[in-house]
Structure 1
Amino acid sequence: MHQKAVHRVPVLIVGGSLVGLSTSVFLGRLGVPHLLVERHSGTSRHPRGRGNNVRTMELFRVAGIEPDIKEAASLLAGNHGILQAPTLVGDAGEWLFKHIDPGGGLARLSPTGWCLCSQNDLEPVLLEGARRLGGDLRYSHQLESFEQDADGVRALVLDRGADKHYTVRADYLVAADGPRSPVRTRLGITQSGPGALFANVSVTFRSKLLADVVGDRRFICCYLTDENADGALLPVDNQEHWVFHVPWHPENGETLDEFTEERLQRHIRRAVGVPDLDVEVTGKASWIAAERVADQYSRGRVFLVGDSAHEMSPTGAFGSNTGIQDAHNLAWKLAAVLDGRAGTGLLDSYHAERRPVALATSARASARSVEHSHPGFAPAPGVGSGRRGGILNVVLGYRYTEGAVLGTDAEQPVIPDGLKLTGAPGTRAPHMWLRRGSERLSTLDLYERSLVLLSDARTTTNWHEAALRIAEAQGVRLDAHRIGADLTPDDTAADWTEVHGTTRDGAILIRPDGFVAWRSPEAVPDPDTTLRKTVGTLLHTV
């Protein structure tokens, strides 16, 4: 029996895994009321994807939950690199890479770093943070259907525990409902890409003796290459809890029922190289790696984020990180539109910005799987043949060549060959340490709730005053800081203008997601008019 539309909310999030929960956290930080429904009864119990890259950790840092995540990740804090070996007996094998940040150079680029936190440990932290911020999160609640009109979305939700339906009326719907996304299917949005790449059965198991075999090799993952028992071994606690990804070949008619406990035990023992290894299988879950990207990221008032928008090979953990960054990109735009500070045209920039990033990143993920000879991956001709090389330019260096940015070079690749974070429009704003009184903070800590204009305290151009006047007159969320006045570089040798690609008479405008929206390297005759037109164009209010 259907109830009346008693639930009215600005944003309905469908899906409560990593990306859905992150969407809730980011909307909560911006004060946007929302409801999240997830058909499962709770957070993930399986220790799936674990690599949270530096850009994702920057977002969690600004959202105030970085310390909680690091605490949840403490068991694997000392694990680094990917090892490839015939077995774990003896010292044969090679490190595909041993350290994600050799030499510690990342500290010049970011106030944080990579964090190894398994999904089953990360999701409860996000859940607690989301609820603390006022999110209405409902597990065992499933979206049954939805329809949209010019004014919003009407969704029918099933409370699986009470076996009752209710209706939600929302301004916008965000679909974080996974790779098979019923929402995407209902919208009729197609996908592009090679499709399925390879399949695995992910096995959780307990072994007290395996830690002695592993020894002091504290890897993130170990690819074991026995031709009859290959796979990937991942530590959960470095002591007795482990995960093993066993290649599965459904294309050859192999069924999941064939992966009996006895077969899995035999496979793991042979892969490790210890015939009598104690292996207690505690769970298994199948998954299929794929490279697909949705052809549209939105339709009307419905938006796709995470796996519903893109699937990627797991090598490099690009998929979940790209999804979390989707959510962050979309959240500030929804907040601005719902608050009346931006026109609805701003929401079109979500597709324009995030889809090219997913296309480029998914191709890099497949190439990395080929480069690392991921167990079970026998790529079809042309798949994974794209550019390879470093990871930082993929993680931090991607750029928006169109969207809510002005002054970009559309001819530049989305992912550059090298990493140059110099304040160019469309790139992640540079990091440098500042002082505000006794407080030490990164420039990146300034960007979350508003547009931010940085100018120099030594300039005679009234950028700062112009920003304050526009914010007051137009009700725009626009903060302004004068470097050298309210904020000073922590390193007296650091020149913020050089770092940001401007001069003491110029200015730079940063979006709430930390990307450069616009930059003026020099003074202009009328900063009020210039800034007013710039902000109006970016926010679609002119």
Structure 2
Amino acid sequence: MNEEADHKTPVLIVGGSLVGLSASLFLGRLGVRHTLVERHAGTSTHPRGRGNNVRTMELFRVAGVEPGIREAASVLSGNHGILQTPSLTGDEGRWLFQEIDPGGALARLSPSTWCLCSQNDLEPVLLERARALGGDLRFSTELMTFEPDSDGVTAVVRSRETGEHTTVRADYLVAADGPRSPVRESLGIGHSGPGELFHNVSVTFRSRGLADVVGDRRFVMCYLTGPDADGALLPVDNREHWVFHMPWHPERGETLEEFTDERCAEHIRRAVGVSGIDVEITGRAPWHAAERVALRYGAGRVLLAGDSAHEMSPTGAFGSNTGIQDAHNLAWKLAAVLGDWAGPGLLETYDAERRPVAQATAARASARSAEHKHPGYTPAPGAEGRGPQGGILAVAVGYRYPRGAVVGTDPRTPPVPGELRLTGEPGSRAPHMWLSRAGERISTLDLYERSPVLITGAGTAAGWYEAAGRVAEKLSVPLTPYRIGAGTDADLVPEDGADWARTHGTEPDGAVLVRPDGFVAWRSAGPVPDPEEVLRRAVSTVLALD
């Protein structure tokens, strides 16, 4: 590191919104010292970005913050589905879907479920936990310059409160600085994708009478499609606080100044269909829906995450979830490289894995906006058929990594499949099943966070468990093996006699190597003559140790 720096840190995170705070949380859980700078004085105050999908909640579960998030989100825990209707006063509307998880099928696939927690409620939970884990988080602090070299990054940051400049030397810089990312622009990284899709103004307002009009329709969002005043209505507390997304057309010369309190209030009244209802405007914020993915997810020791790497239409809340999952993918790889148990080449797999997922997910988000006829969006011909056409779960939790830190994948496999399949294939999220560990009920997903894990059958002579110990010692890798079964040597016992091997696509004497992010890195369907050598090759390839 540069000896002239005022402050030294292994990782500098630029941006302290949802993705930056998630990166801080995940790095803190892995014991990676880091500093985060955010130009704003505090966390988000505007209710937005609130659909946290099942995969994101699995990550927060393992990171220990799921209970706090659900508590922060409790006021909307009974809201489900998306309603589309000309107004709230007639009966012409239809539910695009009424239940996120009809029939409770998700419980077979995951220990978690969806959570409706607005960004302004979620970010304080992440901030508190990240700081408790030792994160150095500095708000009212902005990045002024950065200069990467072969050994790290030298950055200058400025306190917006005191004007003081500080030189920071970091091994790596993670840019989570939003869609207009100054870091990405400084690196000269361009985009692919169609670009801007539509524009809205998000209006927060108070109305005590609206709850009576809404009645017992506990929607997540309501698309109001009346010809005189369309938009999207979102409850904040189901009582008196609401958000309304008004279409905005800057391409027609319309300015933000035209969105006066009077105009916004009257538009909302016309949209809901009640001319005399009380509406008190409390805030407004413009936002731009776009489909863009960076051509590269970084350069050298500077890496992009979240909106700095990709922009997506808000329909389905794919953008924020994809960003949080970027941070999780990147965190364990940084921890492994900084901890000297993986080669630097592991970080090259971040782009190889995450960028194709973002491209496919962004296309699906745009298609979903077209399917839902999102107010203000006039899609290009054929937009509804773009992107993977499977259900939302295939996008949210079924995405996979055909290339990257994996062994035995088919590189021709699409990153987002047409149907959900979680059967232990390399490159996919490892299957969930309930286990007992010393009397404690856990999910298999709870095993994956701090180190690679090898799971194999108890009571077999295949030798995988013993081989894992020898490989860990010889490669200096924190590889943790578990034997699953009902035998006396079992470390983990499946609940209700479930078959771990069948769930993971192997025989009882096979083995599955799972990465710290819960993705299957490699598997062997059965025994092999030299399990130590086979496992050593797999671990070395995954961790770029060759």
Please give the range of the TM-score, normalised by the shorter of the 2 chains. Answer: over 0.9
Q: 1:520 matched to which residue of 2?
A: 524
Query: 2 CA distance for matches of 1:248 and 1:176?
Result: 27
Is the CA contact 2:223–2:230 (under 8 Å) kept in the aligned structure 1?
yes
Q: 1:63 matched to which residue of 2?
A: 63
Is the CA contact 1:53–1:395 (under 8 Å) kept in the aligned structure 2?
yes
Relative to structure 2, which stretch is displaced further, 104-113 or 88-97?
88-97
Query: 1 CA distance for matches of 2:228 and 2:86?
Result: 11
Q: 1:148 matched to which residue of 2?
A: 148
Query: 2 CA distance for matches of 1:124 and 1:506?
Result: 44
One of 490, 493, 496 as aligned partner of 1:488: 493
Structure 1 residue runs of 5 or longer lacking an equivalent are: none
Matched, 1:395 2:389: no
CA displacement at 1:4 relative to structure 2: 4.9
Is the CA contact 2:50–2:116 (under 8 Å) kept in the aligned structure 1?
yes
CA displacement at 1:6 relative to structure 2: 1.5
Structure 2 residue runs of 5 or longer lacking an equivalent are: none
Q: 2:15 matched to which residue of 1?
A: 15
Matched, 1:430 2:431: yes
Q: What SS class does the counterpart of residue 491 from structure 1 fall into? A: helix
CA displacement at 1:187 relative to structure 2: 0.2
Deviation digits for residues 60-110 of structure 1, max 9, x if unmatched? 000000000000000000000000011101333000000010000000000
Query: 1 CA distance for matches of 2:493 and 2:390?
Result: 36
Query: 1 CA distance for matches of 2:437 and 2:291?
Result: 45
Q: 2:221 matched to which residue of 1?
A: 221
Amino acid at match of 2:495: D
Q: What SS class does the counterpart of residue 203 from structure 1 fall into? A: strand
Q: 1:313 matched to which residue of 2?
A: 313
Q: 2:248 matched to which residue of 1?
A: 248
Query: 2 CA distance for matches of 1:408 and 1:71?
Result: 39
Is the CA contact 1:21–1:130 (under 8 Å) kept in the aligned structure 2?
yes
Q: What SS class does the counterpart of residue 270 from structure 1 fall into? A: helix
TM-score, reference length from structure 2: 0.98
Amino acid at match of 2:356: P
CA displacement at 1:383 relative to structure 2: 3.6
How many residue pairs get aligned? The number is 539
One of 493, 502, 505 as aligned partner of 1:501: 505
Is the CA contact 2:390–2:417 (under 8 Å) kept in the aligned structure 1?
no
Q: 1:78 matched to which residue of 2?
A: 78
Is the CA contact 2:390–2:419 (under 8 Å) kept in the aligned structure 1?
no
Is the CA contact 1:232–1:245 (under 8 Å) kept in the aligned structure 2?
yes
Q: 1:28 matched to which residue of 2?
A: 28
Q: 1:238 matched to which residue of 2?
A: 238
Relative to structure 2, which stretch is displaced further, 454-463 or 358-367?
454-463
Q: What SS class does the counterpart of residue 454 from structure 2 fall into? A: strand
Query: 1 CA distance for matches of 2:397 and 2:16?
Result: 26
Q: What SS class does the counterpart of residue 70 from structure 2 fall into? A: helix
Query: 2 CA distance for matches of 1:462 and 1:251?
Result: 66
Q: What SS class does the counterpart of residue 473 from structure 2 fall into? A: helix
Matched, 1:537 2:538: no
Amino acid at match of 2:459: R
CA displacement at 1:384 relative to structure 2: 4.2
Deviation digits for residues 496-518 of structure 1, max 9, x if unmatched? 00000001121000000000000
Deviation digits for residues 338-380 of structure 1, max 9, x if unmatched? 0111110000000000000000000000010111111110012
Query: 2 CA distance for matches of 1:491 and 1:175?
Result: 45
Deviation digits for residues 393-450 of structure 1, max 9, x if unmatched? 1111111000000000112211111111000000000000000121000000000000
CA displacement at 1:256 relative to structure 2: 0.5
Query: 2 CA distance for matches of 1:437 and 1:341?
Result: 29
CA displacement at 1:263 relative to structure 2: 0.3
In the TM superposition, 1:460-499 aligns within 5 A as: 460-484=461-485, 485-492=490-497, 494-499=498-503
In the TM superposition, 1:252-291 aligns within 5 A as: 252-291=252-291
Query: 2 CA distance for matches of 1:495 and 1:342?
Result: 32
CA displacement at 1:382 relative to structure 2: 4.2
Is the CA contact 1:393–1:417 (under 8 Å) kept in the aligned structure 2?
yes
Deviation digits for residues 297-331 of structure 1, max 9, x if unmatched? 01010000000000000000000000000000000
Query: 1 CA distance for matches of 2:496 and 2:448?
Result: 20
In structure 2, relative to structure 1, the CA distance for the partners of 1:447 and 1:186 (3 Å cut) is same
Q: 2:380 matched to which residue of 1?
A: 380
Q: What SS class does the counterpart of residue 385 from structure 2 fall into? A: coil
Q: 2:415 matched to which residue of 1?
A: 414
Is the CA contact 1:458–1:504 (under 8 Å) kept in the aligned structure 2?
no
Q: What SS class does the counterpart of residue 144 from structure 2 fall into? A: strand
Amino acid at match of 1:439: E
